[in-house]
Structure formats: structure tokens, C-alpha cells
Amino acid sequence: MNASDLKGLFFLDTNLFVYSFDDRDPGKRRVARQWIGDALRTQRGVISTQVVQEFINLATQRFACPLSPSDARDYLRSVLQPLCHHYPSIAFYDRALSVRERTGFSWFDALIVAAAQEARCAILLTEDLQAGRHIDDLRIHNPFA
């Protein structure tokens, strides 16, 4: 599956951005970069502020070769900002609590699912959750499978 196979919006989890910098797995790096490029090109890719926060934290502190503040700022402006279309509200946190209760997902995974739902995405791209599972109108897809 790729972006041209999809109708509507798709949500990219943090792991796609992390893998796009990972030299240890060229296959995952290639797939991640393709999805991110398609997200930007088609303007159908969506992320939340949580994804921005998680990625910048990992990229500047835990990468084998961490991004400098300047490089992180450039990536924020050129890639993350154009994709960030979900901002939290109290209703959002309530929805995430409901997702967590119904699915048993961790709090942070429930936040990702709730953000994808609120952004009206049809697909959530992640390797961290149960691929193929539907949560209401949202389908989870592992882009690396």
C-alpha cells in the first residue's frame, strides 16, 4: 500500500519520522521517506503536536547522531509544521480516554488514535499498534509489513 492507493487523509505516527533518519535499516528508511514525501506532496498526511514533540525529543537527544537545534528547527519548519493539523483540546483528551478504555491501548497510543480520528483520517500508519484493526472508521496499517 502507498499513498496513491488511499482515499482521504492518513495519519503518520512518530516511528515513520524516526525511521526516515535510521541508517541501520535502509528498507524502513526508504519506506518512511516515501510516506513522508507523499504526505507532503499530496497534502493528505496528518500529524499531531504529540508526534512533533516525540520526534524532536528523540532526534535531538537519542539519535546516534543527534540533530542540532538548527537542523531540528529546519526539519520542524519544512516537514513537521506543514503536516501538523491536530491540536489538543479537553474534548480530545476525553476521546483518548474513551479509546484507551475500549482498546486497552496505552495512554500515548490512545492519544495518537484519538488525534487521527479527530483529524478524520481513514488510515493510521504505525508499526506500534495492531495492524488491520479498525477503531470506528480508522484502520491501522503497518507500512513496514
Instruction: Please tell me the predicted confidence (pLDDT) of residue 7.
Output: 77
Model pTM score: 0.94
Residue 79 neighbours by CB distance under 10 Å: 20
- For residue range 50-94, what is the model confidence (pLDDT) as tens digits? 999 999 999 999 998 999 999 999 999 999 999 999 999 999 999
CATH topology of domain 10-141: Rossmann fold (3.40.50)
| Residue spans per domain, the chain | 10-141
Q: 136 falls in which pLDDT band (50, 70, 90)?
A: very high
